[in-house]
Amino acid sequence: MRVYLDNAATTPLDPEVIKVMSEVMGSHFGNPSSIHAHGREGRTLVERARKTVAGLLHTSPAEIFFTGSGTEADNMAIRCGIIDNNITHAITTRIEHHAVIHTLEALEKAGTIKLSFVDIDDKGNVDYAHLEDLLKTNERSFVSLMQANNELGTLTDIEKVGELCEQYNAIFHCDTVQTMAHYPHDLGKLKVHFITCAAHKFHGPKGVGFLYISHKIKIKPLIYGGAQERNMRGGTENVYGIAGLAKALELAYADMELKQQYIQDLKAYMIAQLKACIPGVQFNGETDADKSLYTVLNVSFPETDIADMLLFKLDIAGISVSGGSACSSGTDIGSHVLTAIGASTTRPSVRFSFSKYNTREEIDFVVTKLRELFS
């Protein structure tokens, strides 16, 4: 048996997405920038996908820009949002994705901004009072906070953050790579300037994502070279990837609540089984359903002499997961997220992440193998 529980890293393609992409690859190869019939076919597919995405998110197609990844979208939002709006102060947390932290740190190193880190607790929750203090005591700020942490699953109240940013005239960028297609997003109501997406996190293809840019903010391109994406992102569009993204998002929004409940039940079942079968197991981040991303569970296991080999042993047993431990020194290559919340440096941690394709039988198999390793 082979079990895949690393869906926060990437998800398997939905068969209906494969079907759509195969049709596009086989029949619609024209460059969407070309004016002839083949090119117009490609342009129609791109714009139809843009309209689908915008409709699901309750925004205008003019505010959706396709990119090559979530990382590119984050970089475009952060670099262009800060530089093109003359922002000199930015706020984030120490548990953001490296696409955010490293980009902001590079801007700070270049002298473009002063970077502030908002406090978080030992479960990864944002201290909103501290966030407000940072907003009120600094010049106009650029705020970059993810909706759900990719390692812990802990959720941030982005509606509350958006309200604070509006109150203090701040620019708000939200990395929604882990939550896009898992929760509904009404961009007609959410007070946010940028959100980012990567299709491969919700059973779409790798190598394509999008950036939402509110009509209230103006930026210049990150990538120059052509007039694609309404002069905002040079480079020939990944037509079959864009078509696959739109189909995957459409499928995700269909019966979203039913799929959410199914996966949440799997997560709750695994929590209960781990508690029952492995004494001393602990959980990193929030586990309550209303405070945690239902697709992610981060588990710290008891200290063991196989800590460094745990992921390898699980792989040999037929289980695909990711994880590690907190950094024990400045030279360790460990999880910056676990380090930031003060997790143990000696207990091995594993991130289990679920999808609609996982089953209780797979959870039983994984818990059985873990119990054998820790017995």
pLDDT in tens, 22-32: 999 999 999 99
- Binning the chain into helix, strand and coil, the percentages to the nearest 5 are 40, 15, 40
pLDDT tens figures, 304-363: 888 789 999 999 999 999 987 666 545 457 899 999 999 988 899 999 999 999 999 999
> Which is nearest to 182 in space by CA: 268, 267, 269, 294?
294
| Count of positions (residues) in the chain | 375
CA distance 268 to 294: 9
DSSP string, 192-208: -SEEEEEGGGGTS-SS-
pLDDT of residue 323: 86
Cα end-to-end distance, the chain, whole Å: 21
Q: What is the pLDDT of residue 332?
A: 58
Q: At what angle do helices 37-56 and 239-253 cross, to 10 degrees?
A: 30
Q: What is the pLDDT of residue 361?
A: 98
> Looking at the predicted structure, is the pLDDT value of residue 88 above 90?
yes
Q: What pLDDT does residue 330 have? A: 52
Is 327 labeled as catalytic in the residue annotation?
Answer: yes
In the predicted model, what is the mean pLDDT of the chain? 95
User: What tens digit of pLDDT does each residue of 194-243 get?
Assistant: 999 999 999 999 999 999 999 999 999 999 999 999 999 999 999 999 99
Judge whether 168 and 84 are in contact, CB under 8 Å: no
Return the CATH superfamily for domain 3-11+255-373: Aspartate Aminotransferase, domain 1 (3.90.1150.10)
150: CB partners within 8 A, 6+ apart = 8, 97, 177, 178, 296, 337
pTM for this prediction:
0.96
Contact 363, 269 (CB under 8 A): yes
Q: Is the pLDDT of residue 83 over 80?
A: yes
Report whether 70 contacts 176 (CB < 8 A): no
- Mean pLDDT over residues 172-182, rounded? 98
CATH T-level topology, domain 15-253: Aspartate Aminotransferase; domain 2 (3.40.640)
pLDDT of residue 63: 98
Task: Write down the residue that tokens 């569970």 correspond to.
Answer: 297
Question: CA separation (Å) from 62 to 5, 59, 242, 275?
Answer: 36, 8, 16, 49
Q: Catalytic residue, from 174, 197, 277, 327: name it.
A: 327
Name the least confident of 109-113, 270-274, 289-293, 341-345.
341-345
When pLDDT is averaged across residues 97-125 and rounded to a whole number, the result is: 98
Nearest 5°: the CA angle 115, 119, 124 is 115
The pLDDT > 70 percentage for the chain reads 98
Q: How far is Cα 72 from Cα 335, in angstroms, rounded to an integer?
A: 22
**Which helix (H) or strand (E) segment is 55 a member of?**
helix 37-56
Every domain of the chain and the residues it spans: 3-11+255-373, 15-253
The type of residue at 274 is: L
